[in-house]
Chain A
């Protein structure tokens, strides 16, 4: 477990979110994403399955439009593969949102959370008639192409922790800022749907099979849940040290106040029924943020809608938060967006910032019959207006990877 909290004063610098870009099944920030979350809209729908994999899953939560970033010709953008488009669009949005263009001389880094870049790019190429996967080539990874395109000259690294990948990217970026290795850092991640990933998760029996009712298929914490729904998209954050962000008059969307990470060390594939290590990650994040469980105003759960995982997470929250868990509002936005896989943690971090901005907790839709094995203060069906100063977000992944991020309203 690591809270990434520093021993030295310089390593305790507050790190703020000064820019944000999101692409999701519910749209972007510019097209009313936060409204959609608070209204409980679902981005899950039937999808075309004419792909060669002929997967048995007939629904997902796709991104219907990836906005072309300003400064890039639409014809050029269209030539990029879908994964690069999916990352570049919110990255450029985060840069624009941060308004760093007027402050040259900064070293800006990039941490890309992406779990299976090569699987996705080899597959995209193959489905388009290419043979890259069969050829003995080694090319620069996506993060370096993105950094070059954006003109970044700081460190650029891809990190992966399965479904927590983009959250780990935020954690690494915060450390770089505290170490003084960057002056600002873009961090986050996105993912795309693909025929083989849909098929692999389906064959793993991890996906919902409610082909007759797609919008009701993603139902975290509900007794009728039968697996998750795959989605695509994600988000990127511009992070800066508070002092410099304030000095340049940046818009402070919130503070990345706490990080907690751990591993179960139990199984490569099967979710762990023992919530001990997940609870340790939550406790570490709270300690890192220097808050008590009672100070959490909203918990965005990982809760993908799997029978085992949701119960284990509820147990982890209860272990880490104790009796405070009775009154912490909890929801899973995956009920509306599906599981964005590598992009999930960043998207859900953005949902936390949305809750802080709007002072309301987004709901878990489709939560008709809360599972008694998940005894939490669920926000079911409709958003709950309330004071939100602190929001936490869990992310868990294959291999027993556990992550908790804590965001605090900017003072």
Chain B
């Protein structure tokens, strides 16, 4: 149907990344994080808030709280949006549920299955935990979740303009290796659940290099004219690599920018603040 892409190449709107945090926990450690999700000095959550939450929600919320704690000027989060981008969240609960179904029937199905193991559930947990009133949604769900989540978070911030939605959290989560489960749905390995949380805020032109540029910026680039049709997924390289790239870009060293390819041919580029601005700031200081 649409054999050639549009020749239009809109200028990439940008977002600043004002804080981020990476958190991981082995499955065997999950109970401890679940019962104590908040870092020291963090907000107080209702007791057993994460009791029924999926592992991705547990680690994702912890990453958000650590990113908030790391923010140089902790923001008021009430108006924030939340986008969660998990890769195959909910597998453990789904496996246990299905394993019990033939013998246990309907009564064995937890009422928490749908609200806690759906694509939106991580974003919902963060939104509820921190009392956010911006929109929250889940994105992706598969191997391309990071790219899709970044793309959608940028959509919310740059495609919108509502002053109440001042920032958006992106929480990308994944297992380092998918859990291996026996016939009862019990894990036979001890995989690590990883979460990267970052706070995105709209900025003007990321290419401008102005004095108000944040240390990290993010822009969506759509292809000008790639030939051929769509491609199936192209894994982004994992959260660990992306987090390392964020750190290096922020430090302003050898890595100036990092690009994540999107399955449809577009790209998300994260860049550190242009060096001349960073240098000028250092000299001014």
> At the interface, yes or no: A330 with Cβ under 8 Å from chain B?
no
Closest 7 CB pairs of A and B: A399-B124, A175-B159, A136-B178, A160-B119, A141-B142, A204-B111, A199-B106
CB distance from A187 to the nearest CB of B (A): 12
> At the interface, yes or no: B263 with Cβ under 8 Å from chain A?
yes
Q: Who on chain A is nearest to B186 by CB?
A: A134
The residue among A109, A150, A269 with the most chain B CB atoms within 10 A of its own CB is: A269
Q: Are B160 and A141 in contact (CB under 8 A)?
A: no
Known: A201-B114, A399-B136. A156 touches B230 (CB 8 A): yes
Q: Are A2 and B160 in contact (CB under 8 A)?
A: yes
Query: What is the bound-complex CA distance between A122 and B99, given in angstroms?
Result: 11
Which residues of chain A are near B108, meaning CB under 8 Å?
Answer: 199
| Partner pick for A101 among B1, B132, B143, B160, CB 8 A cutoff | B1
Q: Who on chain A is nearest to B1 by CB?
A: A151
Q: Are B114 and A197 in contact (CB under 8 A)?
A: yes
> At the interface, yes or no: A323 with Cβ under 8 Å from chain B?
no
> At the interface, yes or no: A1 with Cβ under 8 Å from chain B?
yes
Q: Who on chain A is nearest to B3 by CB?
A: A104
Which residues of chain B are near A105, meaning CB under 8 Å?
Answer: 2-4, 6
Which residues of chain B are near A108, meaning CB under 8 Å?
Answer: 1-2
Which residues of chain B are near A397, meaning CB under 8 Å?
Answer: 120
> At the interface, yes or no: B261 with Cβ under 8 Å from chain A?
no
Interface segment out of the listed B19-27, B63-71, B149-157, B241-249: B149-157
Which residues of chain B are near A117, meaning CB under 8 Å?
Answer: 119, 141
Q: Are A196 and B109 in contact (CB under 8 A)?
A: yes
Query: What is the bound-complex CA distance between A2 and B148, given in angstroms?
Result: 20
Known: A263-B127, A400-B127. A95 touches B1 (CB 8 A): yes
Which residues of chain A are near B128, meaning CB under 8 Å?
Answer: 264-268, 399-400
Task: Please tell me the size bucket of the interface on B.
Answer: 35 or more
Interface of B is mostly: loop
Task: Please tell me the size bucket of the interface on A.
Answer: 35 or more
* Other contacts beyond A202-B106, A398-B120: 5, CB < 8 A: A117-B119, A118-B90, A119-B90, A265-B130, A268-B116
Query: What is the bound-complex CA distance between A45 and B8, given in angstroms?
Result: 50
Q: Are A104 and B112 in contact (CB under 8 A)?
A: no
Query: What is the bound-complex CA distance between A181 and B224, given in angstroms?
Result: 11
Known: A158-B148, A200-B110, A397-B120. A140 touches B142 (CB 8 A): yes
> Which B residues fall within an 8 A CB radius of A?
1-6, 8, 10, 13, 78-79, 81-82, 87-91, 94-95, 97-98, 101-102, 105-121, 123-125, 127-128, 130-144, 148, 151-152, 155-156, 158-162, 164-165, 177-183, 185, 220, 222, 226, 228-230, 232-233, 262-266
| Partner pick for B98 among A133, A157, A267, CB 8 A cutoff | A133
> At the interface, yes or no: A54 with Cβ under 8 Å from chain B?
yes
Which residues of chain A are near B97, meaning CB under 8 Å?
Answer: 196
Known: A147-B230, A154-B2, A400-B128. A179 touches B13 (CB 8 A): yes
Q: Mark A272-298, 1 if CB is under 8 A from B, else 0.
A: 000001001000100000000000000
Q: Are A401 and B124 in contact (CB under 8 A)?
A: yes
Interface segment out of the listed A4-12, A208-216, A307-315, A361-369: A4-12
Query: What is the bound-complex CA distance between A117 and B87, given in angstroms?
Result: 12
Known: A134-B183, A156-B230. A172 touches B152 (CB 8 A): yes
Q: Are B144 and A178 in contact (CB under 8 A)?
A: no
Q: Are B2 and A152 in contact (CB under 8 A)?
A: yes
> At the interface, yes or no: A153 with Cβ under 8 Å from chain B?
yes
CB distance from B105 to the nearest CB of A (A): 4
Known: A56-B106, A118-B91, A175-B155. A7 touches B265 (CB 8 A): no
Q: Are A1 and B116 in contact (CB under 8 A)?
A: no
| Partner pick for B101 among A52, A138, A155, CB 8 A cutoff | A52
Which residues of chain A are near B180, meaning CB under 8 Å?
Answer: 134, 136
Q: Are A11 and B161 in contact (CB under 8 A)?
A: yes
Known: A116-B117, A157-B140. A137 touches B178 (CB 8 A): yes
CB distance from B25 to the nearest CB of A (A): 18
Which residues of chain B are near A104, meaning CB under 8 Å?
Answer: 1-4
